[in-house]
A and B are shown apart, each in its own frame.
Chain A
Amino acid sequence: MSRIPRSMEATSVGEAAAVARGRRSLPNGLWGIALFIATEATMFGAIIATYFYLRFKHAGWPLDGIAPPKPALPLAITAALAATTLPMLLASRAVRAARRGAAVGWILFAMAVQCGYLAVQIVLFSDDLSRFTPDQNAYGSIYYALLGASHFHVLVGIVLSGWVAARLLAGVTNYRVVAVRVISWYWYFVAAVTVAVTLTQLSSSL
């Protein structure tokens, strides 16, 4: 019994890394985020299913002669956002290997790209709004509902990343190591959802 680690007492970089190495199954926090992702993915599944349900109700899509979205820029920035999974992966590796500085650096690097993605998306969103509105017809409604849900998730991710980076700067505990891994998993999910959402959004022009 003495060999069983008391994970929560790990309040330094080295101890937290040792706990992470000694564990045989995923910590509770990762199970929590995995199930959260499952429910969120189902939510996006329902929204995307609604998009195609409405799309296949109609011979012409987008409705009322609205021009389909231009694909080049959304595809490019979505690829950039998807690529931020790599620095997030490296951050959670680094924090488990007791390299706090590297972890914070990777998180901040990913955040910069994610903020750029969100900024471009907001510009595109308001451009779209000047062409057609959600109260115009069902295409507009589901288009903005889909993108709004996706962008909100990116915003939440950025807030979480900023918070965990600040916490790491104040010191490393087992709790924060798990938090970095949880937030990385959240970002893997957001990246996957963004790809799915962008492909759905562009399905009328591809």
Chain B
Amino acid sequence: MATVASPEAARRVYRLERVWRERPGLLGWLTTCDHKRIGILYLFTSLAFFAAGGVEALLVRTQLITPNNTLLGPEKYDQMFTMHGVTMVFLFVIPISIGAFGNYLVPLMIGSRDMAFPRMNALSYWLFLSSGIFIYTGMFLGHGANAGWFDYVPLASKQFSPGPNIDFYALGLIFNGVSSTAAAINFVVTIFKMRAPGMSLNRMPLFCFAFLAVSFALIFALPPLNVACGFLELDRRLGFHIFDVTHGGDALLWQHLFWIFGHPEVYIIILPAFGIATSIIPTFTQRRMVAFPLVALAEILVAFIGFGVWVHHMFATGLPSVTLIYFAAASLIIVIPSGIQLFAWITTINTGRPRFATPLLFIVGFIVFFLLGGLSGVMLAAIPFDQQITDTYFIVAHFHFVIFGAAVFPILGGLYYWFPKVTGRMYHERAGHVSFWLTFIGTGLTFFPMHILGLIGMPRRQYTYPGGMGWTGYNQVETIGSYILAAGLLLIVANLVVSYLRGAPAPANPWRGATLEWATSSPPPDYNYPVIPRVTSAYPMWDELDREEDSRNLTRGEMVLDEGHETPASTVLDADWDEILEMPSHSPWPITLALVASGVFLFLLLGHWAVAAISTGLVFVVLAAWHRQEPQEA
């Protein structure tokens, strides 16, 4: 934080504190529109779902520890692996990376006091929580989704899945999609319009480029999924025939619609991880990122090309060879932007002065696993190899290295990296190292033998296997690995909890980080910055003269905006200051709207069409009430 040198400065800070003070107590949390509080809500909710998905994974691994095991049985096993996938993708990785890290950090990094649409931000969170509860209600009632996370028809059609399991899945994902769409729109507008003066697009942190790419990918990827789930519900509930081959429909259509969403989804999962890596690497090497513009372009290119490769999930469906060859080639092209980033990270570490603190260790783990998962991905782009290996554990190995090893390791590193900023406490470094090695070894032991199992023919998604196939030993190693991994994750949680209670106090910028979130105190005040910073490079915290100017501005009262709940909006490319916005501070309507929306989906699930239609009407009533209070009246 800028040093409060003069009485004028102190007076301004006091006024900011009064204007921006959050409501106390539970009511404050339920009606908050503050991006930091919403980020923390996202964090704890998604970690709870991570725990649920983790328990499901451990149950799956425990079931497979010996041949002919009867711990779960086929029905429960199907629900476990399906819910594990759905949870980890929709209720953990996306919400924690976009909802928690993005919400907390993007406004701080771009020097804004909030997101562009604070109330819609709260709405995204409450919709996400409601959709998670909705999806898990099915599981607690014994009717959890059970046709795999990609939910292929005809297995998922009414004829073969008559129970409500698939309805929880399809409606739940549409519900969740509404939340993610709202969040994505909010991020694009925030990144385009709310940057601090001087932060032209080429001076924006690479973290924000990654979030920009992810948000655009979400905006275009979610509609096909929602359409597919909508069609599936129409087929299942109202007797439509869109996926029904016997009445002129087409089952493969589901796979197309699902993977047009599903492949960009992979990059949606991993791009925030790239963003976190590009934040941690410069800090712990005290060096600017190598090839900054190339890395920014590569992040966007990955998201873009990700839309043109979906058929590589369908190489074994009998599509014409010409189609397959196009998609194989497109899939190989992804190597180029991925390689650019990989070499940029390695070169930055190699040419800097790396200090292998816990966050950087996790990034090194990420690079190792991304390389492994990426190389097996290149193998799978070869059509004959894919046709041979599809539906075996080789696939499971590949995508766990990508979306656990590569996507989650930076999240874990990020938890350590920004822990001092969020809590104002330092974590325990030695325990951090131990937790890294446990998760690193656990991940390797759990997922690497799956390559071998796949090559020697073990199919995925089977609840058990016979002895004498040569599979038992590998499965046992994997199960042991998964418990080591769980121990590592628990150690991370323990480290952070104990450090929160007893850690050493953290200064504003303990790592000499380069981006603006380190400009303010740890934890940041409700108004983020006493002075809106002026930015002249992509590494504003290393421009010490600029930051001294911020302190002088506070005394002079320039760029303080202490007259109201205000933040600047700027032009899209150059970030010239364009207008001053009065932001809403708290609102009861986002949570109310989420409750009404839950009603809509509940009544759709129960088949009370008229009540569902009335609830949809209520949504508009709530929206009208929401917009009755305009920000300048708050």
A167–chain B nearest beta-carbon distance, Å: 8
Cβ-defined contact, A137 with B247, below 8 A: yes
A46 to B226, CA, bound (A): 10
Check A46/B257 contact, CB under 8 A, given A7-B581, A141-B242: yes
Within 8 Å CB of B627, what residues of A? Answer: 163, 167, 179
Q: Which of A45, A46, A175, A179 has the most CB of B within 10 A?
A: A46
Check A137/B226 contact, CB under 8 A, given A1-B559, A8-B581: no
B192 contacts which of A5, A31, A42 (Cβ < 8 Å)?
A31
Cβ-defined contact, A142 with B192, below 8 A: no
Cβ-defined contact, A173 with B632, below 8 A: yes
B623–chain A nearest beta-carbon distance, Å: 8
Q: B206 interface residue, CB < 8 Å from A?
A: no
B248 contacts which of A1, A5, A32, A138 (Cβ < 8 Å)?
A138
Q: A25 interface residue, CB < 8 Å from B?
A: yes
* Stretch of A33-41, A98-106, A190-198 contacting B (4+ beta carbons < 8 Å): A33-41
Cβ-defined contact, A11 with B223, below 8 A: no
Within 8 Å CB of A167, what residues of B? Answer: 627
Check A28/B582 contact, CB under 8 A, given A6-B566, A175-B632: no
Q: B253 interface residue, CB < 8 Å from A?
A: yes
* Stretch of A51-59, A77-85, A88-96, A124-132 contacting B (4+ beta carbons < 8 Å): A51-59
Check A31/B219 contact, CB under 8 A, given A1-B559, A134-B239: no
Chain A stretch 142-201: residues in CB contact (< 8 A) with chain B: 142, 145, 159, 163, 167, 173-176, 179
Q: A118 interface residue, CB < 8 Å from B?
A: no
Main secondary structure of the interface of A (DSSP, over half): helix
Interface string of B210-226 (1 = CB under 8 A from A): 00000000011011101
Q: B189 interface residue, CB < 8 Å from A?
A: yes
Cβ-defined contact, B580 with A54, below 8 A: no
Identity of the chain B residue whose Cβ is nearest the Cβ of A164 in the assembled complex: B627
Identity of the chain A residue whose Cβ is nearest the Cβ of B580 in the assembled complex: A6
A167 to B631, CA, bound (A): 15
* Stretch of B84-92, B441-449, B536-544, B569-577 contacting A (4+ beta carbons < 8 Å): B569-577
Check A54/B253 contact, CB under 8 A, given A135-B239, A139-B248: yes
Cβ-defined contact, A46 with B224, below 8 A: yes
Within 8 Å CB of B17, what residues of A? Answer: none
Cβ-defined contact, A23 with B630, below 8 A: no
A141 contacts which of B186, B194, B241, B568 (Cβ < 8 Å)?
B241
B242 contacts which of A38, A42, A50 (Cβ < 8 Å)?
A50
B579 contacts which of A6, A42, A57, A142 (Cβ < 8 Å)?
A6
8 contacts between A and B (CB under 8 A): A7-B580, A24-B571, A39-B223, A43-B223, A135-B238, A139-B248, A141-B241, A145-B234
Using A137-B241, A145-B242 as known contacts, list a sample of 18 further A-B pairs with CB atoms less than 8 Å apart, ordered by residue number in A: A1-B559, A4-B580, A6-B566, A8-B580, A9-B582, A35-B185, A35-B219, A39-B222, A40-B223, A42-B224, A43-B223, A43-B226, A50-B242, A53-B253, A57-B248, A135-B238, A135-B241, A179-B627
